[in-house]
Structures are given as structure tokens and as C-alpha cells.
Structure 1
Amino acid sequence: MNNIRKMPLEQLGYNFIEDELPKGKDEYYLRNEQWQRQDQYRQLTAYEVEALVRNDNTSDNWNNIFVSNEFNPQLVQHCHFFGMVRIGKLEPYYLEYRNLKLPVGLYNSTICACDFGDNVVVHNVNYLSHYILGNEVIIANVNEMVTSDVAKFGNGIIKSAEPENLRIELELCNENGGRSVLPFDGMLPGDAYLWTRYRDDEQLQQQFRNFTEKQFDKRRGYYGMVGDRTVVKNCRMIKDVTIGTDAYLKGANKLKNLTINSNAEARSQIGEGCELVNGIIGYGCRIFYGVKAVRFVMASHSQLKYGARLINSYLGNNSTISCCEVLNSLIFPAHEQHHNNSFLCASLVMGQSNMAAGATVGSNHNSRGADGEIIAGRGFWPGLCVSLKHNSRFANFTLLSKGNYMSELNIQIPFSLVSNDEHDNTLRVMPAYWFMYNMYAIARNSWKYVDRDKRTDKVQLIEYDYLAPDSVEEMFQAMAIMEIATAKAWLALPENTPKKELTEKDLRKKGKELLLEKPEDVSRLTIYVDNFENSNRRTMLLKVHKAYPIFRDLIVYYGIKNIVAAGKPSFIALQAAVKNAKRTPWLNIGGQLMKTDTVEALKQKIRKNRISGWQQLHEAYSDISKEYPGDKLQHAVASMLEVKDVPLKNFTTEQLSQWMVDSIQTLEWMAEGIYKSREKDYNNPFRKMTYNSEKEMNIVVGSLEHNSFINETMNELGEYKEKVRRLINEWEL
């Protein structure tokens, strides 16, 4: 049966903390730490008590009602007070927000042990208990708004004397809970990533738990907070929720155990029909229209809309999820998922990603246990009606065409188009697809993510450029794969059968020779590759003869681009900056790229307690961000020289000058590709047939000539040419 306690009425509003109080403390001691204005309040005068009673207000003890000197009792009507209540300035004004106009004061509400700032509006709140409201807060038409003495506000902690089974954990990346983390206010994507990885490192894992435990007070008795100028209207139930300033909550069904971060520069909003439980909501987030979220963290400026479900997941900054279902996933910044019939489960998605309609990524229904995972690099784009199987892994900027992929995949080549050829029962992978056929999309996406990064606190430096250390490292891996696969295909021909078995080094040498010197011959080969799919069927590489030189040219352009951006005063200064340049592995730590060695050093500092809390770790992220341009420059130069097969000690000004000129040609080719890939949409008769005329088409979709991104690309091309020419002259190359 329901456990309904029957208590004396005079206790209502008192004995908030159901635990032993510290010696010399009363039940209000934490409340007073949170609200340090208690010295600004006084007890009611006899006239004020009389006025309050005349206005149909009641209190269990009028001596426990404290007010400021500017208190106006005429602005408190039909309210019932229990426990100690402190009321700030009340003046004869009304507050207006989005056409809601309500007089300042407390009306038609039951109020239990609360503090109010100046000129608040509280209208028709059936039960408001143990909250601290800031200045000019509006609370209207709320059924229940309460705080319990064990409120944790979404953080993964337990309070004094609470059992461990009440702790909230996020089961990220895997449905079996093997990668669980404790959510906490301020959790960055990098924190979530490091914590979910390295599960065999017990010392590191324990440190992360210690960070979280130390960050929060286990004492019972903290009140819920509502920051200045926040508006809460037409909500049903709000329990154990703390809210920042300038937030806007309207029509929510249930908000429980949450931290809602908000401020004047990054206002958070929650709209109609939402039910949010056990979560952390970052600054500038927007949640609307029937969203259901349970056990979640939303990083700043992310959005949930139109009935989306987010469960046991972390959503990175500047991301949007609409209409669909996301479970047990860790999502890095700049993720887009807009379609009702898409599904994402048990996945690590490393950002700049987009889920198409009908995409089913990570269903465990096709495995023996709910323990599979999918890892997708930056720029992951599963197309229409793609279905994937655990476990699978995808390199950066992988595009999957429509299809049911029945086996586990390990796509090791970035910028690829992957297709499932059911007719020939073959998996097909086209390297460098984006650069050959859709340069507009990949370039525009990098541009738009920078443009849409609304973070006000950029602790982690998020890399949005598609040519970056992580993707370039994968391009080197891809070139090795293409070299070996090409050599094997060539040697499989009867006339080319080798006299002895070749080593991997020999295969790479032969494949490189063929790709660089005999591309036409390579174009006629049928090239297969191993270990891309867990099945007996073959995986075919397409257009290798075109993709290979594109990767090489782009790596050289990556090197020159970073040299130009570095702005060194001379070639000698450049040599000094890159004297230790070498290629090393890189990791994507929540959207921030770090050298593997840097991550190992970071982990060691955490183990040895030289980094002893989340704030210190975030400061380390910031310090690493400052080193990133220099590290990236070294990687870019080392990558360029490796492609050119030139040792660093033999790097000359003549070579640099020529490669700079070549980089202009590469950028011109990219700019032309951007234009032509968009131009196809305007020349396609099937795209044009829904319009009466070309003029109407231009009005509806915008003209090609006035495309802002293309025009900006052309301007950047001109600026880049000028920078290169100036650098060549200044350095006397």
C-alpha cells in the first residue's frame, strides 16, 4: 500500500533535514549559505500582519515571516505560509515577458519555507516548498515546485546516509553499463570520453569517481535555486531542480532532479509537454514539444525538439536531436538528427555527424547480448534507411549509402562512400568520395560548424576542419591500404605473378609505383581489400587511381595551409618551429584533438593526483588548446614532407616555394569542385521541373551567383593566393 505519513500540522515547513544536524546548526544553515541576504530582512510590523490577514493570507507563525524594508503587504493576497519565509522588495509594478503581464507580489499560493528576492511574481502556485527565488522571477500557474533535503540536482552523488543504489549513473556507449559514468554539472565531452575509455585502468577510473565525489557536498538540506529574471509558467511538477538566471520554462509536465544552467548571454528554455528526469542541462539549451529525457547530460547550446527521446546519453555542444530516439550514446559536438524514424543506440559518435531518416545505428536486437558498440569518427553520415550491426567502427567522414548492412564493419579509410551491393553481394568502398563528387557539402559543413559554435565558454578547442591531424593520420593509413590492395590486384594477374612472396614493404612500394606512374592501368584493376567486413563476401575499393593522388595533394595542401596560417617571419623561424616535427597518432577527446602522447601524459597526471579535480582537468584542456596550433603545424609539416619523401634536414626554400604554388592549384581545384557540385543542382532538369521558370527557382532556393558560401570560398581563395605570394616575397623563396 502507499506509504502516506500523517504528521502534526504545526510541523509543516519545519524539520526539513531528515538527518542529524551538525552541532550548533539549525535546519536553515545551508539555506543561509546559499542566500546571504538574511541580514536585509526584518520581522513584520503589527500593521503588516493585519494587512496580510485582511488580504486572506495565513501563517502558522507570523513571527517566522521576514521582509525587506520596501515590503508592501497589499501585494500579498490569498497565500498560505508555513515555516520561515523571507520576502524581498515588493513594489506596485507588473512584470511582462512575452505578453504575459502579471503584478508583482505573491498571490493564491501555498508557500513553505522559501526565500524571495526583490519584485518577484508568484501566481497560482499550488505548492512552493524550499526554494530560493532571485530578483524579478516570475512563477505562474505551477502545480508543484518542491525541493527535498536529499536533492542532488542531477549530479551522480548520494547524500549523507543514502544507500548506494540511489546513485544516478549514465550508461554511455554500451547498454550493459560497463562504461557507466557519474554525471556532474560542468561535464565536458572530453570528460565523458576519457571516463568511458580505459576501463582496464582502475586507478584512472577511481580518480574520476573521486573528482565527482569531491566536487559536491554530501550534506542534506540544500534548497533549489531560481536565478534572477527566470520565468516559469504553466508547469505541472518541478522537484529538486535548480535553475540559473534568465531561463524560460513553460508548459513542462515533469522536471525532476535537474540542473538547468542559464544566464543572460546563454539563456536556456524548456517548452510544452517535456518530461525531464535526472539530468544536467547546459547553458543556452533549448528543449521543446514533448521531449522525454532520462539520465542525460546536454552540453551547452544543444537542442531537443519534437518528441525526441534521450536516455542514458551525453549530447555534445551545438547539437540538435528532433523526433527520434537516442539511447546509451556519447555524442561529441555538432551532431544533427532530425527524423522521427532514426534510432541511435550504444554508440560513440565523434561529432560533425548527421543521421538520416530511417537510419538504425546500433540496435542490439541482432546480437546475443546487449553489449555491442559502434564507434564513428568525425563527420559520420549514415544515409537513408541504413541499418548497422554491432560492433562496427568507421573512419572520419564516412558516408553510408542506403542499405541493410548485415555484418560488422570496420571502415578504415576516411572520406569514403560505403555501399552495399546486394546484386553482386559485395561491399563497395569509394575513398575520397567527398572530394570527387560533393566538395560543396564537406567544405560547407566545416564552415557552418564554426559559424554555429555558440559556446560562451570554450574550454575545449573543438576542431571542425576536415583536414586535421586525426583525419590526415587516417589518410596515411588509407594510402597504405590502397598501395597494398593495388599491388595484390596487379600481382593477381597471370602475367604479373611474382616469383616469390612479397613482404608488406615490397607490396607498398609496388602499389605506390603503380598508383603514381600507371594510374590508367590501375583503373582497369578490380581491387579488393580485407578486414573491412566480418563476412565471407569481398570488399571492393573503387576509383583508387583517383583517390590516391587526391589524398597526397590534400596532405601537401594541409602542410602549406598550416605554414601560411602560422605567420612565421622567415623560413629560418619556420625551421626552428618544426625542428622536432614528426607524425604521431592523435586522438579525438570530445572534439578536441590531442596527440596520443599528450593524452598519456594527462592520464598519468590524473593517476598521480597532480590533476586532482575536474576544474584542474578543464584547465589542462585549455593549456593543451594553447599548444594545439604549434603541435598541428609540426604534424602538418611532417606529413607534407613524408608525402614528398623529403627528410626535414633536406627541406629547402625552393621546395617550399614550389609546394606553395602547387597548394594554390589544389585550392583552386577545391573551389571549382565546390562550385560544380552545387551547380549540378541548378542544371539538373529533375531538380528544375517543379518550378515554372529559372527566375522562380532562384527566388525559392536562391541563385547560384548569390550563394554566400560559394562567394565566401572564392574570397578566401583570393586571400590565400595573396598570402602565399606575399610569403614567397617576404621569405625570398
Structure 2
Amino acid sequence: MSLRKLNFAEIEDLKENGCSATDWNKVQISGQFDTGQIRNVNFDGEVRIGKNVKIQNVSSLANYEIGDDVTLFNIDSLRVEGETGFGNGVKISVLNEGGGRELTLYDRLTAQVAYMMVTCRHDKKFIEKLEKKIDAYCSKKKSNLGKIGEGTSIKHCGILRNLLIEGPAKLEGAVSLSEGTIVSCKEDPVVIGSGVTAKHFIIQSGTKISDGVLLDNCFAGQGVRIGKQYSAENCAFFANCEGYHGEAVSIFGGPYTVTHHKSTLLIAAMFSFYNAGSGSNQSNHMYKLGPLHQGILERGSKTGSVSYMLWPSRVGAYSVVIGKHYTNFDASDFPFSYINEEKGQSQLTPAMNMFTVGTRRDTIKWQTRDRRKDPVKHDIIHLELFNPYIVGKILNGANILKELLEKASREQEFVTYKGLHIKRLLLKTCGKYYEMAIKIYMGQELIKRLEKKEALSYNPEDYSDKWIDVAGMFIPKGEYLKLINSITSNEEWGVAEIASEFRKLDEKYEELAWAWCAKLIEKRYGCGISELTREQINQIIGDWRESRIKLNNMIIYVITLFEKIISRYLRI
């Protein structure tokens, strides 16, 4: 930005327009400057003004660089007071309200890096190195001068203090914004609406926040929607999250975490692809000792209306929690389950949520509801329903059900596992349902490979037995541990290099996933993947076709049954 000082005539014109300054020498302007566009402004400290800028009715404007084509209208205060990181470097207490899993905010934070920082606290050396790299990045963001990005419009706002805006954003009616960064872009601008109060925050592109929202120590990633008096403290919301009406404290909201209802409290937990029913609630307190505990709801989980869970507890992927659970449980080994409360017991029905139209609908809608238009998408999101991580869980769950069945006596109505009660008569049946999912997975992956006319062979080095879900991204555990070691040992790496390494893993995802699937097929058929006979390939595809038909038929059956129940209810 080419700037110059105001001349005498311009200063006099500005005074005529109701403007004042503590020191006119600190007000700099671009070569193309129209004094008629600047009215009723009190300049304090250093102010730099770009081309085609309109500033009117600003009670206090101090220490800012105003980009080209910016409009500032009817603002109580827009000031930078001392050196600030504009929200970069703020540490928030996510997942555990009592602390110990602090997440350092910065303007290019991704869900994957955040997951590392929050869940790897046991590796003190790694955390020390990671925080050092992030702190180095944040220190470069510190300044005594704020910035309002080109094309930004700010109207009818209250106190804006230590606020930095990159790219064109729209702010209208905000009450107070302090110590924060808004990273906007022309393809996907940020919108901050009426009644918003936020302090110590980072907001990324495409996000819209309005209608009296209260944010304190919060991160909002790309494409987030928060409104209708929502309140959040010490929370991180990553890509495509939505929060309305309710409140959240110390949550790690992975991609597509959604809560729309009043009286809903999300507290001290990790979510992703989650849907909160009205009145969903949790407790993280240990009697008289404070908020010590946390919960994990794996991807695709839902909680029913007026549900309650006592932390620590863990819910398996694509599972539904119904009722009030006053005891701790761990259902992470059983994806696609129902967890309901009966007579004070948490009862588990494994695999049954595979047969609901809601699960099918969810996997489709997430693909169409990615709102991010920014050319640079920070969070890496994998959406496949059946994949090495989920099928690995299914295999483990099926083995557990088999072991429980072998140990159970015929007199038992229920068996117990990690705080859960499972009906003995369901153990064998639900195991068969899991087997159906495994056959669907093997068949669909083999068909994909054949359709692409790619070799069935794989690189043995690509195989990793265990996979993890890193806030929406499936990664082999071996590759994840390698990345942790690389971050720890490479002193020259910064936050950009770490994000780049995650993208490289994403580019390898299909080959890594195929290696896992191929190994599964080899174990089941007792031969190398390239040695499969035509009959064996036909068997895998035939099992896939038969299992898919059964799955679809069961979904149709459930829908038909539901319609019958509703029709009976309507006749009453």
C-alpha cells in the first residue's frame, strides 16, 4: 500500500466533516483519497487508509491499516491497544474442562493438528515440540497495528478491540469483538451479524455467526454456522459445524457437529458428524472434586431428546444414545449400535443402526453439505461409511460378541461388557449383522479396484493393522505415529509443513486403505490377493451383492414398520 501524509487542505476538509485526531501526522492515506467519504471520525494513534474507503460515524479509530474498498460506518470503537496476537496463541481448555488438554489457537489451525494437540498429552516431548512450532508461528502474528482486509464492510457495531480481518468480511450489528482474527476470502466471506459478543477467538472463511451469540475462548473453522443465542466457552468447532439455541463448554467439535435445540448442553466431550437431540445433556463432575472427566462420541453418533450421559463414557461410531445413563460405559467397540436405558441399566443393541434410513441418509447428506468454498480447505474429511477404521471396529466387535456368547450360560438374560448390558439372545444375531457389513466392505473395495482396472497387489509397507479417526480423517496408526516422530525430530518444520504432511497422507489414502482391505481378504481366503481365483473373486462379489440386498431390505422393513406404527397412532 503506497501511502502519504495528509496535506493541510485535506486536514481542514476532514475537520469540516466533523473529524478529529490526536496527531494528524499519524494518519496516512493512499494517493487516491476523497475527504468527502470520511465524516465524524476520531483518529487516535496510527491509521493507514487505502483507496476508495468510506469511514463515517466512528467514535474512536486507532492503530489500524484499512484496506482498499473498505466501509466503516457507525462504530463505537475500532482500536488496537498495545501489542496483540489477535487471538493467535490463545490456549483454550477443550475436552477436559479442568484443563490438561489445552488447544492453542492460530488462524490456520486444522482439525487434524488440533486432534494431535488434545489427544497426545501423554507424549510430553511431542507436545513440547508441537507447541513450540505453533508458538513460533503465533509470535509472528503479534503487532501493534491491526488490519481490516480489502473489501470488508463493518456497520452498526459496538466495541471492536484488537481485531484483525483478512480478506473481505461483513460485520453488521456486532456488540463486542475483542482479541480475535477473522480469516475471510472473496470466494467465501465471513459474516458476523447482530448481537454477537466474542472475545479470544479465531474465525475461518465461510463462517456465519449472528443473533446474539456469545463466544469466549473459541475457534470456528470453515463453513461453521452459529446463531440464535448460542453460547460457547472454551470450544473448537471445525468444518461445517452448526450451533443454535443451546450452549457448549469445553467441547472438541469435529467436522459436522450439529446442535440445533434449546436446553441442549454439550460439555467436555469430543464429537464429529454428531447430531444432538433436544435437551441432550452430560455431566463431567465428580462429586465435590469438580469437572474431572470427559466423553467421546465417535463419528456419526446421535443423542435422543432429553438424553443424559455421565462422563467418562464412550459411544461407538454411528450409534444412537437414548434415555438417561447414570453409570459410565464404553461402547467404542460396537459401531452402529443403539444404547438405551432400562431400569437404570445401559443396554446395548449392537449393529442395529446399520438398518435405519437415517444412517444411509447421513452418509449422503454430508457429501452435499460441505459449505466450504475457500480454495484452501484446512480440515481433511473422509466420508466413506465402510472403511478400514470402521470395519476394524466391526471385526473387533464381532469377536467380542462371539467370546461373550461362548462364555454365557443359557440361564443368562443379559451379559455385561464395560458398563453395558447386552441381551444374550442378540449376541449371535448381531454378530451376523456385523459379518454382513464386512462382506459389503470387501466386495465394494474389490469392485472399485476392478472397475479402475488397477492391480490387486499392494505395497506391504502401506499396510497398518490399526487405523484411527483423526477428527474426520482416517489414518493408519503406523503412519500417524511416524508423523508424530517426524514433527518431534524435524526442528525446521513449522505449522505449514505439518499441514502439508497431512495432505500427503490424504493423497495416499486410497492405496493405504486398499492395502488394509487386501490384507483382510488374504486372511479370510488364505492366499495372496493377486492369487485369488476367479471363483473366489466371484464369491466375494456375490457375498457383497447378497449382503447389500439384505441390508436394503432390512432398511425398507424398518421404514414400513415405522409407517404402520405411525398410521395406527394417527387413527387413535
Report the TM range for the smaller structure's normalisation. Answer: over 0.9
CA distance in 2, matches of 1:413, 1:283: 36
CA distance in 2, matches of 1:367, 1:270: 40
Q: Does structure 2 conserve the Cα–Cα contact (< 8 Å) formed by 1:431 and 1:547?
A: yes
Question: Could you say which residue in structure 1 is the equivalent of 2:64?
Answer: 131
Q: Does structure 1 conserve the Cα–Cα contact (< 8 Å) formed by 2:244 and 2:259?
A: yes
The structural deviation recorded for 1:182 is: 1.8
Residue 600 in 1 paired to residue 533 in 2? no
CA distance in 1, matches of 2:560, 2:107: 46
- Residue 71 of structure 1: which of 33, 38, 41 is its match? 33
- Residue 140 of structure 1: which of 67, 73, 91 is its match? 73
The structural deviation recorded for 1:278 is: 0.1
Q: Which has the higher contact order (CA 8 A, sep 6+)?
A: 2
Q: How is 1:176-575 mapped onto 2 (pairs within 5 angstroms)?
A: 176-217=98-139, 221-349=143-271, 351-364=272-285, 366=287, 368-402=289-323, 404-411=324-331, 412-422=333-343, 426-436=345-355, 438=356, 440-455=357-372, 456=374, 457-489=376-408, 492-493=409-410, 526-533=413-420, 538-540=421-423, 543-567=426-450, 570=453, 574-575=455-456
CA distance in 2, matches of 1:220, 1:396: 41
One-letter code aligned to 2:130: F
- Please say which of residues 127-136 and 679-688 is displaced more in the overlay: 679-688
Question: Could you say which residue in structure 1 is the equivalent of 2:40?
Answer: 108
Q: From the superposition, tell whether residues 428 and 63 of structure 1 become closer, same or farther in structure 2 (CA, over 3 Å).
A: closer
The structural deviation recorded for 1:216 is: 3.0
Superposed CA RMSD in Å reads 2.6
CA distance in 1, matches of 2:188, 2:218: 20
Q: From the superposition, tell whether residues 322 and 648 of structure 1 become closer, same or farther in structure 2 (CA, over 3 Å).
A: same
One-letter code aligned to 2:418: N
CA distance in 1, matches of 2:228, 2:347: 36
Q: From the superposition, tell whether residues 124 and 532 of structure 1 become closer, same or farther in structure 2 (CA, over 3 Å).
A: same
Structure 1: runs of 5 or more not aligned: 1-35, 76-104, 157-167, 495-524, 691-733
Question: Could you say which residue in structure 1 is the equivalent of 2:2?
Answer: 37
CA distance in 2, matches of 1:284, 1:661: 45
1:344 alignment partner, SS class: strand
Question: Could you say which residue in structure 2 is the equivalent of 1:21?
Answer: none
CA distance in 2, matches of 1:454, 1:334: 10
2:195 alignment partner, SS class: coil
Q: Does structure 2 conserve the Cα–Cα contact (< 8 Å) formed by 1:154 and 1:258?
A: yes
2:469 alignment partner, SS class: strand
Q: Does structure 2 conserve the Cα–Cα contact (< 8 Å) formed by 1:325 and 1:343?
A: yes
CA distance in 1, matches of 2:9, 2:417: 88
Q: From the superposition, tell whether residues 137 and 547 of structure 1 become closer, same or farther in structure 2 (CA, over 3 Å).
A: same
> Residues 441-500 of structure 1, C-alpha deviation per residue, up to 9 Å, x if partnerless?
1111011111111233235431222212211111011111111111122xx249xxxxxx
Q: Does structure 1 conserve the Cα–Cα contact (< 8 Å) formed by 2:363 and 2:385?
A: yes
CA distance in 1, matches of 2:282, 2:525: 39
**Identity level (%):** 19
Q: Does structure 2 conserve the Cα–Cα contact (< 8 Å) formed by 1:555 and 1:639?
A: no
Q: From the superposition, tell whether residues 429 and 133 of structure 1 become closer, same or farther in structure 2 (CA, over 3 Å).
A: same
Residue 152 in 1 paired to residue 85 in 2? yes
Structure 2: runs of 5 or more not aligned: none
Q: Does structure 1 conserve the Cα–Cα contact (< 8 Å) formed by 2:463 and 2:512?
A: no
Q: How is 1:534-683 mapped onto 2 (pairs within 5 angstroms)?
A: 538-540=421-423, 543-567=426-450, 570=453, 574-577=455-458, 584-609=465-490, 612-643=493-524, 648=529, 651-679=532-560, 682-683=563-564
The structural deviation recorded for 1:376 is: 1.8
Question: Could you say which residue in structure 2 is the equivalent of 1:705?
Answer: none
One-letter code aligned to 1:430: T
The structural deviation recorded for 1:154 is: 0.5
Q: TM-score, normalised by structure 1?
A: 0.73
Q: From the superposition, tell whether residues 284 and 325 of structure 1 become closer, same or farther in structure 2 (CA, over 3 Å).
A: same
- Please say which of residues 674-683 and 256-265 is displaced more in the overlay: 674-683
Q: Does structure 2 conserve the Cα–Cα contact (< 8 Å) formed by 1:188 and 1:590?
A: no
**Which structure: larger Rg?**
1
Aligned length: 567
Q: From the superposition, tell whether residues 64 and 256 of structure 1 become closer, same or farther in structure 2 (CA, over 3 Å).
A: closer
CA distance in 2, matches of 1:272, 1:51: 33
Q: Does structure 2 conserve the Cα–Cα contact (< 8 Å) formed by 1:258 and 1:280?
A: yes
2:364 alignment partner, SS class: helix
Q: Does structure 2 conserve the Cα–Cα contact (< 8 Å) formed by 1:426 and 1:540?
A: no
CA distance in 2, matches of 1:250, 1:170: 27
The structural deviation recorded for 1:639 is: 2.7
One-letter code aligned to 1:131: Y
Q: From the superposition, tell whether residues 57 and 676 of structure 1 become closer, same or farther in structure 2 (CA, over 3 Å).
A: same
1:222 alignment partner, SS class: coil
Q: From the superposition, tell whether residues 541 and 250 of structure 1 become closer, same or farther in structure 2 (CA, over 3 Å).
A: farther
> Residues 154-183 of structure 1, C-alpha deviation per residue, up to 9 Å, x if partnerless?
011xxxxxxxxxxx3111111221111221
Say which structure is richer in strand. 2
Q: Does structure 1 conserve the Cα–Cα contact (< 8 Å) formed by 2:458 and 2:518?
A: no
- Please say which of residues 621-630 and 136-145 is displaced more in the overlay: 136-145
The structural deviation recorded for 1:65 is: 5.0
Q: Does structure 2 conserve the Cα–Cα contact (< 8 Å) formed by 1:356 and 1:385?
A: yes
The structural deviation recorded for 1:260 is: 0.8
The structural deviation recorded for 1:369 is: 3.1
Q: From the superposition, tell whether residues 117 and 186 of structure 1 become closer, same or farther in structure 2 (CA, over 3 Å).
A: same
- Please say which of residues 662-671 and 406-415 is displaced more in the overlay: 662-671
